[in-house]
């Protein structure tokens, strides 16, 4: 389970212009900042909960009902919000919401509080892939236990040779600012779509969403084909991976972002599905390609790559400076970009808290506020 709620110690309190009853708190061990009441003080221990978390129905959280209730999750969704001239990146509670005990900074209390991640992409994946099944089975999916058991089994289809994409937010990696100054990095735009994986291993072509393996619908259900399958056919991805096998002598999978109609509101105004690669993995050698190896691979094999912003040296001094850098407009359409992803130019293994390689994401708060995320 992803860590969404932790014990934190307040490092600093900043006034908010024009506000008398609230202040902006920051912490010693994480880069997030949150609006809190003036009853909170420097060095207080508290429960910090990241935005994009869903809180369960409990008396302590009922005050959130009027502005945070989410019927799809039957819980309270915490969003990024702007008040005055500052962004609030989560919510803070006193330790009294926890069972009594000796709590210390960094303790993960996500499961104790029953908090889950707001993940509309997973809900969409389940809904879309369910259309591949007979009507009777779709009706049975309305029974929570049957639906849970069915999709639990389908997750076992996830290929053992593939890793799921899940970039960590820089606010949870504050050590990088001291440890990696001067590192050669590539910055790309983070696109707002849905993750997809296409792989060819020992002659078997595999299609996955971010969480599930997707099977091609057959017979009378073929007209209800998943967007993941449709994109594979549109861009002849299987043939491209076969070509890569022939040229390089290895099996590969490509991870990327699907964007277009019906996906996240199609903020970029694409007329049809578009697939943008951000990772290439050599299955045979069991390693990711470096940033520029992947970029060259995409060019040679005919894959569109996520937009490159620049190659530069890691020179940002803190979270605030990097978040400011992440702001700006998207390469596509008249919309703020969702953010940026920073990766090392040469392949490096993941540092503490990272997922598959040296990389992390920085979300543009203007994007979050504009789209109410």
| Pairing assessment for the beta strands 287-288 and 304-305 based on DSSP bridges | unpaired
| Exposure letters 168-206 (e unless 16+ CB within 10 A, then b) | bbbbbbbebbeebeebebbbbbbbbbbbbbbbbbeeeeb
Q: Where are the alpha helices (DSSP H) in the chain?
A: 65-68, 120-130, 135-140, 144-155, 176-179, 227-234, 237-248, 291-301, 319-326, 365-370
Rounded Cα gap, residues 183 and 173, in angstroms: 15
How high is the mean pLDDT of the chain?
89
Nearest to 256 by CA among 332, 193, 212: 193
What pLDDT does residue 153 have? 46
Domain with CATH 3.30.470.30 in the chain: 121-370
Nearest to 56 by CA among 40, 69, 41: 69
List, for residues 215-225, the tens digit of each pLDDT value.
887 655 555 57
State the sign of the Cα–Cα–Cα–Cα dihedral 204, 209, 215, 220. negative
Nearest to 122 by CA among 166, 87, 92, 82: 166
What pLDDT does residue 155 have? 46
Percent of the chain with pLDDT over 90: 69
More confident call, 81 vs 311: 311
Which residue has 């969403």 as its token pair?
209
Rounded Cα gap, residues 190 and 341, in angstroms: 6
CATH code for residues 121-370: 3.30.470.30
How confident is residue 156, by pLDDT bands cut at 50, 70 and 90? very low
Query: How many Cβ atoms are within 10 Å of 242's Cβ, its own excluded?
Result: 15
Over 80: is that where the pLDDT of 130 sits? no
């Amino acid at each position: 389970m992803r860590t969404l709620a932790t014990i934190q110690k307040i490092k600093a309190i900043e006034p908010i212009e024009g506000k008398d009853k609230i202040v902006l708190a920051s912490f010693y061990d994480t880069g997030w900042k949150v609006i809190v009441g003036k009853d909170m003080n420097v060095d207080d221990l508290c429960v910090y909960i990241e935005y994009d978390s869903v809180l369960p129905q409990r008396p302590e959280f009922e005050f959130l009902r009027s502005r945070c209730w989410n019927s799809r999750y039957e819980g309270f969704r915490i969003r990024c919000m702007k008040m005055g001239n500052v962004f609030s990146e989560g919510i803070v509670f006193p330790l009294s919401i926890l069972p009594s005990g000796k709590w210390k900074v960094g303790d993960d209390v996500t499961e104790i509080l029953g908090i889950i991640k707001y993940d509309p992409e997973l809900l969409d994946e389940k809904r879309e892939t369910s259309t591949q099944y007979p009507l009777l089975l779709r009706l049975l999916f309305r029974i929570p236990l049957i639906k849970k058991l069915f999709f639990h089994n389908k997750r076992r289809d996830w290929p053992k040779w593939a890793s799921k994409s899940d970039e960590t937010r820089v606010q949870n990696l504050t050590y990088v600012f001291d440890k990696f100054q001067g590192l050669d990095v590539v910055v790309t735009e983070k696109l707002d779509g849905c993750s997809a994986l296409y792989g060819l291993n020992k002659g078997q072509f595999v299609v996955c969403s971010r969480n599930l393996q997707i099977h091609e619908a057959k017979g009378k259900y073929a007209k209800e084909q998943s967007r993941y399958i449709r994109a594979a056919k549109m861009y002849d991805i299987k043939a491209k991976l076969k070509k890569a096998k022939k040229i390089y002598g290895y099996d590969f999978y490509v991870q990327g972002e699907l964007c277009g109609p019906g996906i996240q509101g199609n903020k970029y105004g694409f007329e049809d599905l578009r697939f943008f690669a951000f990772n290439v993995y050599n299955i045979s050698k069991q390693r990711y390609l470096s940033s520029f190896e992947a970029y060259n691979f995409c060019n040679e094999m005919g894959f569109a790559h996520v937009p490159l912003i620049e190659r530069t040296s890691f020179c940002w001094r803190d979270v605030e400076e990097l978040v400011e850098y992440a702001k700006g407009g998207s390469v596509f359409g008249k919309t703020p970009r969702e953010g940026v992803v920073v990766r090392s130019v040469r392949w490096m293994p993941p540092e503490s808290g990272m997922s598959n390689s040296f990389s992390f994401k920085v979300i543009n708060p203007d994007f979050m506020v504009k789209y109410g995320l």
